[in-house]
Amino acid sequence: MAQTSSGGSVAPQDPAAAARGVSRRTQSEIYRAGISGTRPRVPVDADALEAAARKALSAEAFAYIAGGAGAERTVAANRAAFGRWQVWPRPLRDVSARDLSIDFLGARRPTPLLLAPLGVMELARAGADVAVARAAASLGVPYTLSNQASTPMEEVARDAGRTPRLFQLYWSASDELNASLLRRAEASGCEAIVVTLDTHLLGWRTRDLDLAYLPFTRGLGIAQYTSDPVFQQLVRERVRASTGSATGSARSATGSERSATGSERSATGSARSAAGGDENSASAVPAAEAPVRLTAKTIAAGVQIARRGAAVTGSRSVRDNLRSPLPRAAVETFLDVFSTPALTWDDLAKARQWTSLPILLKGIVHPDDAIRALDAGIDGIWISNHGGRQIDQSVPTLDVLPTIADRVAGRVPIVFDSGVRQGSDVFIALALGATAVALGRPYAYGLGIAGEEGVREVVRNVLAELDITVGLSGHTSLAEVGREALRQV
Ligand X SMILES: Cc1cc2nc3c(=O)[nH]c(=O)nc-3n(C[C@H](O)[C@H](O)[C@H](O)COP(=O)(O)O)c2cc1C
Which residues are catalytically annotated?
386
C-alpha torsion sign, points 226, 229, 232, 234: negative
Burial bucket for residue 267 (CB in 10 Å: 0-12, 13-18, 19+): middle
Between CA 282 and CA 340 the distance in angstroms is 11
C-alpha torsion sign, points 375, 377, 380, 386: negative
CB 420 → ligand X: shortest distance, Å?
5
Interface stretch with ligand X, choices 49-57, 82-90, 140-148, 326-334 (CB under 6 A): 140-148
* DSSP state, residue 250: S
What count of other Cβ atoms lies within 10 Å of the Cβ of residue 305? 24
Q: Is 201 an interacting residue with respect to ligand X (CB under 6 A)?
A: no
Between CA 443 and CA 114 the distance in angstroms is 11
Between CA 10 and CA 485 the distance in angstroms is 27
* DSSP state, residue 122: G
Q: Is 417 an interacting residue with respect to ligand X (CB under 6 A)?
A: yes
Binding residues for ligand X, total number by CB under 6 A: 24
Q: Which is nearer to ligand X, 76 or 318 (CB)?
A: 76
Interface stretch with ligand X, choices 52-60, 131-139, 142-150, 334-342 (CB under 6 A): 142-150
* DSSP state, residue 164: -
Q: Is 222 an interacting residue with respect to ligand X (CB under 6 A)?
A: no
Q: Which is nearer to ligand X, 420 or 464 (CB)?
A: 420
What values do phi and psi take at 105, rounded to 5? 50, 50
Residues facing residue 167 across a β-bridge: 145, 193
Contact letters for ligand X, residues 367-406 (x by CB under 6 A): -----------------x-xx-------------------
Q: Which is nearer to ligand X, 95 or 351 (CB)?
A: 351
| Residue from the set 148, 233, 313, 422 that interacts with ligand X by CB under 6 A | 148
Interface stretch with ligand X, choices 9-17, 83-91, 300-308, 415-423 (CB under 6 A): 415-423
Report which residue type is found at 410: G
Residues 18-77 that bind ligand X (CB under 6 A): 64-65
CB 123 → ligand X: shortest distance, Å?
8
Secondary structure element (H or E) that encloses residue 335, with its range = helix 326-337
For 196, left (φ over 0), alpha (ψ -120 to 50), or beta?
A: beta
Residues 281-320 that bind ligand X (CB under 6 A): none
CB 397 → ligand X: shortest distance, Å?
8
| Residue from the set 111, 150, 168, 424 that interacts with ligand X by CB under 6 A | 168
Interface stretch with ligand X, choices 141-149, 155-163, 343-351, 448-456 (CB under 6 A): 141-149
Q: Is 196 an interacting residue with respect to ligand X (CB under 6 A)?
A: yes
| Residue from the set 215, 255, 396, 419 that interacts with ligand X by CB under 6 A | 419
Between CA 307 and CA 317 the distance in angstroms is 8
Q: Which is nearer to ligand X, 23 or 385 (CB)?
A: 385
Q: Which is nearer to ligand X, 21 or 388 (CB)?
A: 388
- CA neighbor of 123 nearest in space, from 60, 169, 49: 60
Between CA 231 and CA 233 the distance in angstroms is 5
Binding site for ligand X (CB under 6 A): 64-65, 78, 116-119, 146-148, 168, 196, 279, 362, 384, 386-387, 417-420, 440-441, 444
